[in-house]
């Protein structure tokens, strides 16, 4: 359930007409709904009632400071995967003892920053990483609270690019090697064993892969305890899918019931790091139609957003509903069109066969369910600067990341001495 609905024929974000934001801010832009973010966080945490669970929003899904702060205000922690995300979480007001640092490769600087901040847990994914972390921690005179991320060899049956828990994936430590690595970790100076972590992928649409991964993780946890390790935390990752088209993923309540039955008996404190589930339906990408072009086989609706702004459709063949901002009249004639951006690649398409009502240059459209893995994955390809992000709350909205200008981009580039002295290059660079 989201809060992007038509009111008087106009698509609104909560009580704010999208058109108003477009007129003020320009297009394209991402627009997020506070009420939707809050609702998703509450529904998820309520599904875990009775468990000692900490929900760490997976910041990689949407790392805007205002989005993180909205969730932090409700008590959310953060799952981060880089020094940059760590900084964002801290700046947005997430207490350090609610931050978990995951990822298959961390630099020593990132490790040091996490240790200095005093975060809850660093999830380690290999023996060499464990050794690096021990060194960094001892050089700082600290102890790193660690979880070891295990690879349970479970197929999440998701898109191949976002499946992480199979043995051939780069993630985690094979279950068979985990006990030995914990044995080593327990003896290392600078390391304190705190937990176990698992994450098998994203956009998972059935409970079965979770059940299997959790069962294997629970078994390992018991074995580790029998080995004498003080396992306090079990981090179950994220991954619960959401509907983009007509999928019917398990509900948070069903997921929560599974966690309770498989992991509950361990009596551990739990970390869950959902990203998509919280932010996906809480955002849309708004774009303006530049023109409609009649192609040899079908019409192209060319819009001012492109694959650099939103890469999910081309990268994962992901379906995102495309709707007109002005509601089409009942019975209006619709036509099958391809909605594309202006970038010079045939892959720059948002939907190859979409039924849209008559649409013309100047009209606004919205790509739904773009709140997760949207703005965060944008690039400046084709020198198309990053676009703004807007957060709505009830009848108010705020630009929470401003549009970058081309001049901002160029200001970060310099000509080397041998070119800067050449008059032609200088003239061309406008300097």
Residue 254, φ and ψ in degrees, nearest 5: -65, -40
Instruction: Report the residue from 237, 313, 351, 371 that binds ligand LLP according to the rule CB under 6 A.
Output: 237
CA-nearest of 198, 337, 272 to 45 is 272
- Piece in contact with ligand LLP (CB under 6 A), picked from 11-19, 207-215, 234-242, 382-390: 234-242
Instruction: Report the residue from 277, 284, 306, 323 that binds ligand LLP according to the rule CB under 6 A.
Output: 277
CB of 57 to ligand LLP, least distance (A): 9
Instruction: Report the residue from 165, 274, 283, 351 that binds ligand LLP according to the rule CB under 6 A.
Output: 274
- Piece in contact with ligand LLP (CB under 6 A), picked from 13-21, 56-64, 70-78, 414-422: 56-64
Q: Give the span between the Cα atoms of 38 and 34, in whole angstroms.
A: 6
Tokens of 221: 């946890």
- The DSSP line for 29-64 is EEEEEHHHHHHHHHHHHHTTTTS-EEEEEETTT---
Pick the closer one to ligand LLP by CB: 136 or 279: 279
CA-nearest of 74, 116, 77, 122 to 95 is 77
Binding mask 193-212 toward ligand LLP (x if CB under 6 A, else -) reads ------x--xx---------
Pick the closer one to ligand LLP by CB: 14 or 126: 126
CA 168 to chain centre: 23
CB of 10 to ligand LLP, least distance (A): 29
Q: Note whether 120 binds ligand LLP by CB under 6 A.
A: no
Pick the closer one to ligand LLP by CB: 322 or 325: 322
Instruction: Report the residue from 316, 335, 345, 400 that binds ligand LLP according to the rule CB under 6 A.
Output: 316
Q: Note whether 309 binds ligand LLP by CB under 6 A.
A: no
Instruction: Report the residue from 152, 238, 249, 252 that binds ligand LLP according to the rule CB under 6 A.
Output: 238
CA 161 to chain centre: 14
Q: Note whether 129 binds ligand LLP by CB under 6 A.
A: no
Q: Note whether 102 binds ligand LLP by CB under 6 A.
A: yes
Burial class (CB in 10 A: 0-12, 13-18, 19+), 317: exposed
Binding positions for ligand LLP, 362-381, rule CB under 6 A: 372-373
- Piece in contact with ligand LLP (CB under 6 A), picked from 186-194, 271-279, 284-292, 295-303: 271-279
Tokens of 134: 């021990």
Pick the closer one to ligand LLP by CB: 58 or 151: 58
Q: Which residues pair with 364 in a beta bridge?
A: 288
Binding positions for ligand LLP, 78-97, rule CB under 6 A: 79
Binding mask 144-183 toward ligand LLP (x if CB under 6 A, else -) reads ------------------x---------------------
Q: Give the span between the Cα atoms of 410 and 406, in whole angstroms.
A: 6
Q: Note whether 58 binds ligand LLP by CB under 6 A.
A: yes
Q: Note whether 43 binds ligand LLP by CB under 6 A.
A: no
- Piece in contact with ligand LLP (CB under 6 A), picked from 54-62, 125-133, 218-226, 410-418: 54-62
Query: 């880089």: which residue's tokens?
Result: 82
Whether cis (ω within 30° of 0) applies to the bond prior to 102 is no
Helix axes 252-262, 208-226, angle to 10 degrees: 30
**Contact in structure between 106 and 123 (CB atoms under 8 Å):** no
Pick the closer one to ligand LLP by CB: 301 or 367: 367
379-395: burial string, b at 16+ Cβ within 10 Å, e else: eeeeebebbbbbbbbee
CA-nearest of 282, 318, 323, 280 to 301 is 323
Q: Note whether 104 binds ligand LLP by CB under 6 A.
A: no
Please list the active-site residues. Answer: 344
Beta strands in 258-348 (DSSP E): 269-272, 283-294, 299-303, 322-324, 334-340
Find the radius of gyration of the CA atoms of the chain. 24
Site size with ligand LLP, rule: CB under 6 A: 21
List residues near ligand LLP by CB under 6 A: 58, 60-61, 79, 102, 162, 199, 202-203, 237-239, 273-277, 312, 316, 372-373
């Amino acid at each position: 359930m989201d809060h992007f609905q038509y009111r008087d024929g106009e698509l609104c974000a909560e009580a704010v007409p999208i058109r108003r934001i477009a007129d003020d801010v320009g297009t394209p832009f991402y627009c997020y709904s506070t009420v939707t973010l809050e609702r998703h966080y509450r529904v998820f945490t309520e599904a875990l009632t009775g468990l000692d669970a900490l929900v760490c929003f997976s910041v990689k899904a949407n790392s805007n400071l205002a989005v993180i702060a909205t969730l932090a205000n409700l008590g959310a922690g953060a799952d981060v995967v880089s020094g940059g995300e760590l900084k964002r979480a801290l700046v947005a007001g997430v207490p350090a003892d609610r931050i978990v640092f995951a990822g298959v490769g961390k630099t020593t600087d990132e490790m040091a920053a996490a240790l200095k901040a005093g975060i809850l847990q660093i999830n380690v994914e290999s023996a060499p990483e464990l050794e690096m972390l021990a060194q960094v921690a001892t050089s700082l005179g600290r102890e790193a609270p660690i979880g070891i991320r295990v690879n349970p060899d479970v197929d999440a049956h998701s898109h191949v690019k976002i499946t992480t828990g199979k043995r051939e994936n780069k993630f985690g430590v094979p279950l068979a090697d985990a006990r030995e690595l914990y044995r080593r970790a327990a003896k290392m100076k600078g390391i304190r064993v705190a937990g176990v972590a698992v994450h098998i992928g994203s956009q998972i649409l059935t409970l079965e892969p979770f059940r299997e991964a959790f069962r294997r993780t629970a078994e390992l946890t018991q074995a580790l305890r029998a080995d004498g390790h003080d396992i306090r935390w079990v981090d179950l990752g994220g991954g619960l899918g959401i509907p983009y088209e007509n999928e019917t993923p398990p509900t948070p309540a069903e997921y929560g019931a599974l966690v309770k039955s498989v992991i509950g008996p361990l009596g551990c404190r739990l970390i869950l790091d959902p990203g998509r589930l919280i932010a996906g339906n809480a955002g849309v990408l708004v774009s303006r139609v530049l023109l409609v072009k009649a192609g040899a086989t079908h019409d192209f609706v060319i819009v001012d957003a492109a694959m650099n702004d939103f890469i999910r459709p081309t990268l994962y063949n992901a379906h995102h509903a495309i709707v007109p901002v002005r509601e089409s009249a009942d019975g209006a004639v619709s036509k099958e069109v391809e909605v594309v951006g202006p970038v010079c690649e045939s892959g720059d398409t948002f939907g190859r066969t979409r039924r849209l009502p008559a649409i013309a240059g100047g009209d606004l459209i919205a790509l739904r369910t773009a709140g997760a893995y949207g703005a965060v994955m944008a690039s400046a390809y084709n020198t198309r600067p990053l676009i703004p992000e807007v957060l709505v709350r009830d009848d108010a909205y705020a630009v929470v990341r401003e549009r970058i200008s081309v001049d901002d981009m160029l200001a970060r580039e310099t000509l080397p001495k041998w070119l800067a002295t050449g008059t032609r290059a200088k003239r061309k660079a406008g300097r």
